[in-house]
Amino acid sequence: MSDAVLVLHRGARQVTAEELAGVKPPPPDGRWHPLAHARVLDVVTRTLREAGYAVRRSQLGLTPDGHRFFGTLDLESELARGVTLAVGVRNSTDKTFPLGFCAGSRVFCCDNLAFRAELLVRKKHTLNGERNFVAAIAGSVTSLKSFRDAEADRIRRYAETPLSAELADALILRAYERGIVGARDLSRVLSEWRTPAHDEFRPRTAWSLVNAFTAALRDRAKARPAEFAAQTIRLNGMLDREGVALPLAPEPQTAA
């Protein structure tokens, strides 16, 4: 089992999620658009949850002035039994460092700015910083072996789950309402679902519906792979939440 290590020895203290939520960021300054620490934590945990990872334990640290946040998350995946993962996250609202995310079998996150793991994501605090951060996290998560193992199991379950035309139409509309696909993608998704280009997707299953989405977005997969990964994770999360084939991972529990 992999455990994240949060070291606080430069003035930061351990806090609860509720305390973190009470810290508000300063207003934007030119191109710099800081995100609230709680918002950054929510972005990370939501993306992980939609990818099928549950948070087993979290440790959160905050500097006395409230400007710098450090956190570690020990994960457990219900999709891949016996496989665990550790994640680190950090954020600043004083221009000290960019949004940060790391993941791997061992994670070290320290208030002296040390930030080490197998995968790293760093994004500037800009107007589109949150969107780019989400896409980058998704891209990193999908490259993890544990995620690939989980996806193999997910695909098998989707392929074994029959789907009615009425439910498929409802799910496609729901994906649009939740911003997973845009208005211009709708007709392509519907077309791929109703008249699949490949015989293997003619069976009316949840896996054929997933293929309809990915086939409609294939150009994005080549041009903007991280954004495509984020859309795929959100789609899987929506299908899981609707009980199509797999249960959602439990809501994360925060321990101070």
Is residue 125 located within the same domain as residue 9? yes
| Structure-token match 């994360």, residue found | 252
Is residue 112 located within the same domain as residue 55? yes
Rounded to 5 degrees, what angle do the CA atoms 236, 20, 77 make? Answer: 30
Instruction: Reply yes or no on whether the pLDDT at 249 is more than 50.
Output: no
What domain range is 133 assigned to? 4-146
The domain tally of the chain equals 2
Alpha-carbon distance of 245 to 252, in angstroms, equals 21
- If we measure between CA atoms, which residue out of 108, 118, 127, 111 comes closest to residue 147? 118
Residue 113 pLDDT: 56
Is beta strand 84-92 parallel, antiparallel or unpaired with respect to 99-104? antiparallel
Counts for the chain of helices (H) and strands (E), in that order: 9, 9
Band (pLDDT 50/70/90 cuts) for residue 5 is: low
Instruction: Reply yes or no on whether the pLDDT at 222 is more than 90.
Output: no
Instruction: Reply yes or no on whether the pLDDT at 46 is more than 90.
Output: no
Task: Specify burial of residue 160 (Cβ count, 10 A radius: 0-12, 13-18, 19+).
Answer: exposed
Is residue 60 located within the same domain as residue 132? yes
pLDDT digits 0-9 by tens, 151-189: 777 788 888 899 999 999 999 999 999 888 888 889 999
Final residue in a domain of this structure, among 118, 146, 174: 146
Which one has a higher pLDDT value, 243 or 216?
216
Residue 150 pLDDT: 67
Is residue 141 located within the same domain as residue 66? yes
Band (pLDDT 50/70/90 cuts) for residue 250 is: very low
Flag the least confident range among 1-5, 65-69, 80-84, 180-184.
80-84
Q: What are phi and psi of 115, to 5 degrees?
A: -150, 95
Q: Classify 143 as helix, strand or coil.
A: coil
Q: Does residue 154 contact residue 185 with C-beta atoms inside 8 Å?
A: no
Instruction: Reply yes or no on whether the pLDDT at 4 is more than 90.
Output: no
204 inside domain: yes
pTM for this one?
Answer: 0.58
Q: What are phi and psi of 221, to 5 degrees?
A: -60, -35
249 inside domain: no
Is residue 44 located within the same domain as residue 140? yes
Residue 34 pLDDT: 92
Is residue 96 located within the same domain as residue 221? no
Strand partners, 176: none
Final residue in a domain of this structure, among 112, 146, 180: 146
- If we measure between CA atoms, which residue out of 122, 166, 120 comes closest to residue 141? 120
Is residue 81 located within the same domain as residue 50? yes
Q: Does residue 216 contact residue 192 with C-beta atoms inside 8 Å?
A: yes
Tell me the percentage of the chain whose pLDDT exceeds 90: 28
- If we measure between CA atoms, which residue out of 77, 14, 81, 69 comes closest to residue 42? 69
30 inside domain: yes
pLDDT digits 0-9 by tens, 81-103: 444 567 888 899 998 888 888 87
Alpha-carbon distance of 44 to 73, in angstroms, equals 10
When the pLDDT of each residue in the chain is averaged and rounded to a whole number, the result is 80
Reading the block at residue 40, the tokens are: 């950054």
Q: What is the rounded average pLDDT of the residues 8-19?
A: 82
Final residue in a domain of this structure, among 79, 114, 146: 146
Q: Residue 137: how many CB atoms within 10 A of its CB? A: 28
Which one has a higher pLDDT value, 149 or 174?
174
**Tell me, what amino acid is at 206?**
A
Instruction: Reply yes or no on whether the pLDDT at 212 is more than 70.
Output: yes
Alpha-carbon distance of 179 to 170, in angstroms, equals 14
